[in-house]
Structure 1
Amino acid sequence: MSSDPLAWETLDRRVAYTCPGFDVVNERVRLPDGSETDFDYLSEPPSVCILPLTPDGDVVCIEEWRQAVDRVSYGLPAGGVEPDDGDLTAAARRELAEETGYEAGSLDSLVTVEPANGIADALLHVFVAADCRPTAEQRLDFNESIRVRPTPFEDLLAAVRDGAVRDGRTVLAVSYYRLFDDGA
């Protein structure tokens, strides 16, 4: 237990619901004032998001149907780390290849964030993939509907600026890259 006076004490923990991709966890907690309550959150494996750059400076973007928001989402390849991945870099390479058919010449870590730490224990690891080239066909999961759409970086940045890109992973990756990594 943390010694920070803001810390909550977990008294009991159970998985209330399990489905492919995540669990809903219910915890009985004691708050700093001594009162007890329940707290529910999503628990999921770590995930990766890839900002794939081609030799000519395009970003290998995707358009993917997102059932939760009932529309096609425009953004970057991303997905969960799987047990066979070995490490985060392997997961990023696998997701890039599966969703786009592209392979990276090099891959560098950009940032790791907790994208929704008020409601989930999710960790998102963002990578920049350089010298990306098409090498194979997509290998989509049964529940993925994805179209590949290479886009000039400045056009993607403009789409982030004007709100046309709403995918949080993409907004984060493009913004962080622009702020800290591309020298602009």
Structure 2
Amino acid sequence: MPTDSLEWETRDRRVAYSCPGFDVVNESVRLPDGTETDFDYLSEPASVCVLPLTPDGDVVCIDEWRQAVSRVSHGLPVGGTEPEDDDLEAAARRELAEETGHEADELEPLVTVEPANGIADAVLHFFVARGCRPTAEQRLDHNESIRVRTRSLEALTDAVADGEVRDGRTVLALSYYRLFGTDRDSDEV
């Protein structure tokens, strides 16, 4: 029995296509009005996005080639969780180190979202990393082309407002941080 009158009944599920990083899932479903149809969506592991702040308050950013849009994307370190990750903070620390060569003194959860829940089961966990310092070389995946640079928080905010930064994860992380910080009860951001 459905728990909500809007709930769809999944009759069958199969992976229609699989590749490193994600699957395309096909489900046969029955809608609340009794209609039977198919629904396809992207399925991927949870991801982490890090807003890394240096001791001076600058943001450690990355420039990365994005083949899907055929241009360099300006943004923040983001990566998928791995089966061996003990927790989300460990995944965030790993992605920060791999993509930027930086380590953080402390990490705080910022927000968790479903960025495209109409077409994907993706869950994205955002963290603020404070006290970030370069400690090692990048350890990029075979298909990553990343350049690291720092920007002031104001310059990054301006780049989002001007449309230079279009990466949705970066826009969301920065916007949420500027609106609420990591302590929603605090007046300081």
Q: TM-score range by the shorter chain?
A: over 0.9
| Local SS of the residue matching 1:83 | coil
Aligned to 1:146: 146
AA in 1 matched with 2:158: A
Runs of 4+ with >4 A deviation: none
1:107 partnered with 2:107: yes
| Local SS of the residue matching 2:37 | strand
Give the C-alpha shift of residue 85 in structure 1: 1.4
Separation (CA, whole Å) in 2 of partners of 1:75 and 1:51: 9
Give the C-alpha shift of residue 56 in structure 1: 0.7
Listed as ranges, the matches of 1:28-47 within 5 Å are 28-47=28-47
| Local SS of the residue matching 2:138 | coil
Separation (CA, whole Å) in 1 of partners of 2:130 and 2:81: 20
Tell me the alpha carbon deviations over residues 63-122 of structure 1, each in whole angstroms, 9 at most, x when there is no partner: 000000000000000000011211100000000000000000000000000000000000
Q: When the two structures are superposed, what TM-score results if normalisation uses the length of structure 2?
A: 0.96
- What is the RMSD of the two structures over their aligned residues, measured on CA atoms? 0.9
Aligned to 1:122: 122
Separation (CA, whole Å) in 1 of partners of 2:58 and 2:3: 48
Query: In the comparison of the two structures, how many residue pairs are matched?
Result: 184
Aligned to 1:79: 79
Aligned to 1:63: 63
Listed as ranges, the matches of 1:88-107 within 5 Å are 88-107=88-107
1:173 partnered with 2:173: yes
Tell me the alpha carbon deviations over residues 25-63 of structure 1, each in whole angstroms, 9 at most, x when there is no partner: 000000011010000000000000000000011100000
Q: Which runs of 5 or more structure 1 residues have no equivalent in the other structure? A: none
Give the C-alpha shift of residue 2 in structure 1: 3.7
Separation (CA, whole Å) in 2 of partners of 1:91 and 1:170: 17
AA in 2 matched with 1:178: R
Separation (CA, whole Å) in 2 of partners of 1:62 and 1:21: 20
Q: When the two structures are superposed, what TM-score results if normalisation uses the length of structure 1?
A: 0.98
Listed as ranges, the matches of 1:19-30 within 5 Å are 19-30=19-30
Separation (CA, whole Å) in 1 of partners of 2:43 and 2:11: 18
- Give the % identical residues: 77
AA in 1 matched with 2:117: N
Q: Which segment drifts farther, 33-42 or 157-166?
A: 157-166
| Local SS of the residue matching 2:62 | strand
Q: Which runs of 5 or more structure 2 residues have no equivalent in the other structure? A: 183-187
